[in-house]
Amino acid sequence: MSNSVTEQLTEKGRAIEHGSFAIVDAEAGEHGWPDDAWQVVRRMVHATADFDFVTNAAMSDDAVTAGVAAIRAGAPIVCDVGMIAMGLSQPRLRHFGCEPHVHIADADVIEQAKAENTTRAVIAMRKARNLIHGGIVAVGNAPTALLEVCRMVREDGIRPALVVGVPVGFVSAAESKDEAALLDVPFIVCKGRKGGSAVAVAALHALLALTEAGQQRDAG
């Protein structure tokens, strides 16, 4: 893959990354995660230095397969906040034709949220509904965004390819992730209050890396 993240790493940088993952593997011990799913969880731990994600991460059996397939198809990635879009690897996104979309700061979203006395995150998800259908949703900050996605799945027939729902916080954060884990669409969540944009980025980077590795295997 031209200009991939792997190619951008220096030898020293690659050694540090490999060393970090080796430490995570050693300290996590017998974790019980399947190999591909562990790549996602391991990056969550790596991004936060928090081993609680080994046990509080949860995902549907088809989450990794669905995420990889969506990336290979160039699916849009709808993010609740700009931090996720900014944190994603631009070379990998460009290679697969995936584009991040963030609407929370759009003028029309702000105006409508004020008019309806709701959050910008809710209106931003509604604005992106056509992208969410068949796309990847990544929520790391706003529980109301994740709750709105859950509502759209249940009530409006919207079918995301994958929901990465890891909002951090104290008001509705845990509840929104519990609700996302009940959806009949592929999901990656983490239980409880922990999470954040860095965790969402870590999960997506794991999926991008798995997709890249799969392409390289296919190329032989």
- Active-site annotation holder among 18, 46, 103, 133: 46
The domain that contains 57 carries what CATH number?
3.40.50.10230
The dihedral built from the CA positions of residue 188, 194, 195 and 198, taken in this order, carries a sign that is: negative
pLDDT tens digits along 138-159: 999 999 999 999 999 999 999 9
pTM here is 0.92
> Is 46 annotated in the active site?
yes
What domain count does the chain have? 1
Residue 8: what pLDDT?
A: 58
Per the structure, the complete domain to which residue 122 belongs is given by 5-219
The dihedral built from the CA positions of residue 86, 88, 92 and 97, taken in this order, carries a sign that is: negative
pLDDT tens digits along 35-51: 999 999 999 999 999 99
Residue 29: what pLDDT?
A: 87
| Beta-carbon count within 10 A of 157 CB | 8
